[in-house]
Amino acid sequence: MDISQIIIGLLYGMVVSLGVGSSTLALTFYLLALRDGVIDEAERAHLGIVYVVLRVVMVLVLILLAVRTMIGGFFGEYIWFTWLLVGVLYGNATLMTLHKMSMKIGPALQASTWYALGISTLLLPLSFRFSIYAISYICFILISIIAIEIVRRFLIRN
C-alpha cells in the first residue's frame, strides 16, 4: 500500500465518521421536532445546518470513494457493497428532498445506511462476502425502522 492509498483511506474514514455523526444529529433533531408535531424556527435552523453538512459530506464521500476505487484501495467484494450504500444514500436523500419517501422509512434508511457505511469501513480488513454485508445491512435497516418508530410513537404519546 503506498502513501496515496493511506492518505485517501484516512480522509475517507474521517469523512464517513462525519457523515455518521451528522446523520445521528439529523435523526435526533427530527425525532425531537416530532415531540410537539411542529418544526419551529430553532429546530428548522438546527436541521438546516446538519443537512448542509450532510450534503457536503456526501459529495466528499463520492469523490473519495471514486479516487479510492481508482487507486485500488479496496479489497474483494467490499467495493461493490460500498458503492451500493453510497447509491442508497443518494437515492434516499433525493427521494426525501422531493417528498417521495415515507418519513417512517426515509430517516431510518438514511441513518442505517450511514451506520452501515461506517461499520463496513471499520470491517474492511475482514473482507466479508457481499451477501454477508447485504444481509447484515437489510437486518440493520429493519431494526432501525422499528426502533425509530417506537421512539417516534413514544415521543408523540408523551
Give the tens place of pLDDT for each residue, 10-49.
999 999 999 999 999 999 888 888 777 777 888 888 888 9
Q: What is the DSSP letter of 37?
A: T
User: Over the stretch 89-132, which tens digit does the pLDDT of each residue have?
Assistant: 999 999 999 999 998 899 999 999 999 999 888 876 676 778 88
Q: Is the pLDDT of residue 141 over 90?
A: yes
**Which of 147, 13, 28, 141 minimizes the C-alpha distance to 84?**
141
3-class SS at 31? Answer: helix
Show Cβ contacts of residue 110 under 8 Å, excluding neighbours closer than 6 positions.
23, 26, 27, 89, 92, 93, 96
Q: How many domains does the chain have?
A: 1
The answer to whether 55 and 89 are in contact (CB under 8 A) is no
Containing structural domain, residue 74:
3-157
Number of other CB atoms surrounding residue 6 within 10 Å: 11
Please state the separation of Cα 154 from the chain's center in Å: 24
Cell 465518521: give the residue. Answer: 17
